[in-house]
Amino acid sequence: MNLQFSVEPARYFSKCIHFGTLILVGLLSVSGCRIPGLRCAQPGATLPNEYNWNNGSAFFLASSVKSTPRKSTYDPADEIDLDDPTSELDLDGLQSIDQDAGSIGRQPDEEDGAANRPDRSRDNNRFVGFIKSASFLNLNKGQEQYKAPEEAPIVLAVDSIEFSQQADEPASTDDAMPDSSTGGRISDTVNPTTVSLPVADSANSAQVPHQAFFEDPFLLGLINQALSGNQELKILAEEIQIARNEAYSRSGDYRPFVTLGAGAGLEKTGRHTRAGAVEEQLEVAPGTDFPDPLPDFLTAANVSWEVDIWYKLRNAQRAAAMRYLGTQEGRTYTVTRLVAEVAEKYYELLALDNRLLTLDKTIEIQQQSLAIAIAKKDAGRGTELAVQRFQAEVQKNQSERNLIAQDIVEVENRINFLAGRYPQTVERSSGQFLDLNLQALSAGVPSQLLQYRADIREAERQVAAAGLDVRVARARFYPSLTLTGGLGWNAFSTGYLFRTPESLIYGVAGELVGPLINRRAIKADYWSANAAQLQTIYNYQKTVLEAHIEVVNQISKVENLRNSIEVKRQQLASLEASVDTATKLFQNARAEYVEVLLAQREMMEARMVLIDTKREQLSAIVNAYQALGGGGF
């Protein structure tokens, strides 16, 4: 249904406006009803108030617990009026989705619920003008906001990890910082202490930047090279630019389109045509006929504007802006994963160096035993069998050494790839690997994980964008109003082109179009948008669930591996003593060579296992730090 009118007969303006109003009301009464309902999302699991470390099993004695309770609360976000361009937007909240996911699937003209995130993420988002103008979206209006209960985490430190649990009373500011008197190492008497963190608030390790968490200068250099040279990060940066351009493009859809142009033409009409016959009877001026052929000169400006009555275009632009912000969070998550992988490979490289050193020492010990076996054989006190067995053991370990050397090359080149450089030797520390410790970890309370995990924040953006897509699909059920107009000059000669009002041309038209019959395509798009919205909600729930499980798994793994390392140290000390004893007994012909071989083999295997366990522990610390959202990115 189209409505067109001209501004020249001004007396018809009021009648046209009344007529257009009647048509608009009629279309609304016909097409605005029978909009299908939406399906609601199933609510996710309830967020716990505290983590269940190690399935509830105690990690250490109660007497070794050191408490530093802290308060951590969520303050509700100030409501933001959608129609108030001066209000500020907190784009980072959708924590209440996990508490009441079903509310997200309701009619999209209702406002979505949200919770507030700390101001640090708002500082990180420097919006350009077109993003900022599209960001006045109230995600909190009309729904009770999620507020985490007041929790005071107790920080429990063992070796290089702190655990946070519920506490009843707050502590002073002085108690908030861990004690750094012993450097974070646990003593033989199990007297755990914490290391000092270089931040004002250490309730969660996510607040500790990677420059403070990793103290190895070689590792920090590799991380910096990876952050600047990694190709995947560069690809993601271009994806962010593409998403930004899409949001920028959408920001122009709800603004008027103005074009300015000029044209010239030449037309020859046949004398025996209607136009030619008419021109034959007309004169441009008394005594002056129309030129033949007839020139045509035009200069004009045209305006076209689709009035965004139902916020269809604005919501589409806001959805693009949300996806743009989501790509930023996705890149941040990739950065945290990249830092974690570089650190993990670096510690794997240190572990391989120690495995190689262990093999060299073992080969040295076995060569000494081989020399003893040869001497005993020459003296008639031994056999060739002992010599051959010791020789075979040395050759086996020499072969294993080559395999470890190949592993070192591959790990070095993996680090080189992450850093965006060609194969080269990776500089690394040569300190005692088994005594290496990292900064203490503090997990905080579960609700804090929603603030610092970039993948959770990315899922929040996707949920918000999907909700806006539903609103866009809903607006298609209503009629759209398009206004067009033009103003210019048209004449057959340039001398007459700008004569006013003789050469002046102008016009205005309005078009009101709405769906009336056969709306299946619109319904299908509406239902598809609802399904995509539910997908994003479930993906958000899955992301939150995976994040919490990852944190509990990694932190529990750190502590269990620490306990395993303590036992393996004792086992290694016993095996080292057994090798020394067996060697002395073999020299004095009071022990068989088999006992010496078994003792040496078991000692080497125990040291190898200890190195691998230490590497797994360091890897678990790095992955736990990454799972908490740490890095300060």
- Rounded Cα distance between 564 and 582, Å, is 26
pLDDT per position as a tens digit, 150-175:
333 323 232 333 333 333 333 333 33
CA atoms within 13 A on the CB side of 524: 4
pLDDT at 439: 78
Rounded to 10°, the helix 593-627/384-418 angle is 10
DSSP-assigned beta bridge partners for residue 320? none
Dig out the tokens for 584 from the structure. Answer: 């002395």
Q: Does the pTM exceed 0.75?
A: no
Average pLDDT, the chain: 74
Find the length of the chain: 633
The reported pLDDT for the residue numbered 63 is: 28
Question: Three-state DSSP class for 432?
Answer: coil
Residue that is written with structure tokens 């914490």 in the block: 194
Q: Which pLDDT score is estimated for 373?
A: 87
Structure tokens at 462: 């996707």
Residue 254 tokens read as 């709800």
Burial class of 208 by CB neighbour count within 10 A (0 to 12, 13 to 18, 19+): buried
Q: Is the pLDDT of residue 134 over 50?
A: no
Judge whether 204 and 452 are in contact, CB under 8 Å: yes
d(CA 314, CA 85): 13
What is the model's pLDDT at position 181? 33
Q: Report d(CA 441, CA 204) in Å as an integer.
A: 8
Residue where the block lists tokens 């034959």: 280
Q: Rounded to an integer, what distance in angstroms lies between the CA atom of residue 421 and that of residue 225?
A: 9
In the chain, the largest separation of any two C-alpha atoms, in whole Å, equals 143
Alpha-carbon distance 308 to 395, whole Å? Answer: 81
The two tokens of residue 586 are: 């073999």
Report CA dihedral (481, 487, 492, 495) to the nearest 10 degrees: -170
Facing residues of 262 across strands? Answer: 299
Q: Which residues, 6 or more positions from 122, have their beta carbon under 8 angstroms from its beta carbon?
A: 90, 91, 92
pLDDT at 215 over 60: yes
Which SS3 state, helix, strand or coil, does residue 295 take?
strand
Closest CA to 549 of 36, 52, 6: 52
The angle that helices 593-627 and 312-378 make with each other, rounded to 10 degrees, is 170
What share of the chain in percent tops pLDDT 90? 39
Residues 546 and 55: beta-carbon distance below 8 Å? no
Confidence at 183, pLDDT banded by 50, 70, 90: very low
Residue 55 CB-density burial (10 A; 0-12 exposed, 13-18 middle, 19+ buried): exposed
- β-strands 288-289, 294-307 pairing: unpaired
pLDDT for 55: 67
Q: Give the three-class secondary structure for 286.
A: coil
Residue type, 568: K
Output the CA–CA distances (angstroms, integers) from residue 592 to 211, 370, 371, 421, in the order listed: 54, 13, 15, 53
Which residues have CB under 8 Å from 383's CB, separation 6+? 377
Q: Angle 404-405-408 (CA atoms, 0-180°, nearest 5)?
A: 90
Which tens digits make up the pLDDT trace of 282-313?
A: 877 777 777 878 888 999 999 999 999 999 99
State the DSSP H helix or E strand holding residue 164, giving kind and residue range, or none if neither: strand 161-165
Which conformational region is residue 287 in: left (phi greater than 0), alpha (psi within -120 to 50 degrees), or beta?
Answer: left
pLDDT at 586: 82
Q: Using 50, 70 and 90 to split pLDDT, how confident is the model at 56? A: low
Domain ranges of the chain: 10-28+255-306+480-513
Instruction: With both helix axes pointing from N to C terminus, report the angle between 454-475 and 520-587 in degrees, rounded to the nearest 10.
Output: 170
pLDDT band at 14 (very low <50, low <70, confident <90, very high): low
Are 98 and 47 contacting, i.e. CB atoms less than 8 angstroms apart? yes
Contact, 339 vs 219, CB < 8 A? no
H helices of 476-519, where? Answer: none
Degrees, nearest 5: CA angle 526-530-535? 145
Shortest CA distance to 318 belongs to which of 531, 468, 529, 476? Answer: 468
Q: For the chain, first and last CA: distance in Å? A: 54
Listed in order, strand segments (DSSP E) in 28-175 are 154-158, 161-165
CA distance 130 to 132: 5
Rounded Cα–Cα distance for residues 494 and 254 (Å): 37
Most confident of 28-37, 130-139, 254-263: 254-263
pLDDT(362) > 80: yes
Locate tokens 């993996």: which residue? 414
Instruction: Read off the pLDDT of residues 435-478 as tens digits, 9 standing for 90 and up.
Output: 888 877 877 777 788 888 999 999 999 999 999 999 999 999 99
CATH topology of domain 10-28+255-306+480-513: Outer membrane efflux proteins (OEP) (2.20.200)
Q: Which residues pair with 513 in a beta bridge?
A: 480
Among 4, 141, 2, 9, smallest CA distance to 509 is for 4
- Tally helices (H) and strands (E) across the chain: 15, 8
